[in-house]
Amino acid sequence: MIVSCPNCKKQFKIDNSLIPEDGRELQCGSCNHVWFYKIEDKNNEIFQSKEEIVSKDVEIKVEKKDEEIVEKKPLQEKIKTELKNKKEEKISENQKNLITKKSNISVNIFFSYLVVFIISFVALIILLDTLKTPLINIFPGLKIILFNLFETLKDIKLFIIDLS
């Protein structure tokens, strides 16, 4: 049943079994006002009859919904099949994209290592060129090797210039 607070007019839904025939004191959860409430027969009968009407309407509505559900089942199955096919297509597309991404990553890693190798090689050549004289003083046989290395690098430079 629905009970209204006489102070703030807030309404509360209370189970009939919680209020005895003699009545009882209630306290509003909103304004904390306390009052004595007794169930009146007229209100109880009216409320019960409304409950019966509402429950009959609900049963009729449920029956109509059941009929609609039975009619819509083949359509739902068709939609589920289409959704499943679309999911499978997306999965296959994602797998293809993943494979191409992996191959792109492996190519990128290869070029990264290549760039690091070239930079390291150039740094080594610059270091040898800078320390050529002290190295030759320490290792006299290194003079011919360094000379040949620098001549080879000049030849490679001329070859690259000729290509472009």
Q: What is the DSSP track for 44-104?
A: HHHHHHHHHHHHHHHHHHHHHHHHHHHHHHHHHHHHHHHHHHHHHHHHHHHHHHHHHHHHH
pLDDT of residue 160: 92
Mean pLDDT, to the nearest integer, of 49-76?
Answer: 58
Q: Domains in the chain: how many in total?
A: 2
Residues 20 and 63 in one domain: no
In a domain, 123, yes or no: no
Regarding pTM above 0.75, the answer is no
Residues 12 and 69 in one domain: no
In a domain, 154, yes or no: no
Average pLDDT value over all residues in the chain: 80
Residues 71 and 25 in one domain: no
Helix (H, G, I), strand (E, B) or coil at 36: strand
- Mean pLDDT lowest among 25-39, 47-61, 112-126: 47-61
In a domain, 5, yes or no: yes
Has residue 163 got a pLDDT over 60? yes
Residues 31 and 49 in one domain: no
Strands 34-37 and 24-27: antiparallel
Residues 67 and 109 in one domain: yes
In a domain, 59, yes or no: yes
| pLDDT tens figures, 102-156 | 777 777 888 889 999 999 999 999 998 899 999 999 999 999 999 999 999 999 9
- Mean pLDDT lowest among 22-31, 39-48, 112-121, 125-134: 39-48
Residues 29 and 47 in one domain: no
Domain that holds residue 81: 42-113
Residues 27 and 64 in one domain: no
